[in-house]
């Protein structure tokens, strides 16, 4: 992480999740400014999506908390089935407030998610919007490779390194 920036990672209980959910909706909305084709826009849809992310694997929902509260989150799932790859670890979402991007928070969240998923899986997958150049470069930098596409989404995978 950037020098002078500190955050800790929290796996929230259901009660803690409910308390911070409004902030998570805000983080999601701000993270997708300029990337609207790949995001939910209605606040109730975003809230429903955030709820789904948490319910899918509560232990895989990790929040980055800085001095002023939540600044980002990752949602991943240990129990995901890919029709071509079988059982894999799936990264569903990484979102970091725009003013906090470039400080290593996203990389640290991804690392936490991969460590968690790596307890069970050797292969990790995610989908990224075809026009989300920053995210594509981020995932490539972290060892993910494109293997296919569906509509406006690109499928990327990474394999656990010894």
- Per-residue pLDDT in tens (0 to 9) along the chain, 162 residues: 555 567 899 999 999 999 999 999 999 999 999 999 999 999 999 999 999 999 999 999 999 999 989 999 999 999 999 999 999 999 999 999 999 999 999 999 999 999 999 999 999 999 999 999 999 999 999 999 999 999 999 999 999 864
pLDDT of residue 161: 67
Domain ranges of the chain: 8-125
Question: Would you put residue 64 in left (φ > 0), alpha (ψ -120 to 50) or beta?
Answer: beta
pLDDT of residue 6: 78
pLDDT of residue 160: 80
Backbone φ and ψ for 89, nearest 5 degrees, come out as: -90, 130
Give me 35's structure tokens: 């990337």
The CATH code for residues 8-125 is 3.40.630.30
Nearest to 124 by CA among 80, 73, 154: 80
pLDDT of residue 1: 52
């Amino acid at each position: 992480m950037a020098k002078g920036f500190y955050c800790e990672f929290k796996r929230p209980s259901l009660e803690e999740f409910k308390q911070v959910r409004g902030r998570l909706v805000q983080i999601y909305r701000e993270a997708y400014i300029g990337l609207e084709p790949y995001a939910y826009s209605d606040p109730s849809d975003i809230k429903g999506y955030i709820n789904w992310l948490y319910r899918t694997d509560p232990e895989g929902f990790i929040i980055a908390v800085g001095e002023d509260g939540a600044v980002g989150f990752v949602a991943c799932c240990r129990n995901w089935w890919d029709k071509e790859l079988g059982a894999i670890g799936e990264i569903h979402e990484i979102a970091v407030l725009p003013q906090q991007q470039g400080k290593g928070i996203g990389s640290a969240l991804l690392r936490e998610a991969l460590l968690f998923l790596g307890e069970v899986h050797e292969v990790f997958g995610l989908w990224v919007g075809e026009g989300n150049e920053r995210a594509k470069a981020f995932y490539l930098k972290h060892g993910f490779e494109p293997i296919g596409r569906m509509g406006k989404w690109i499928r990327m995978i990474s394999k656990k390194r010894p």
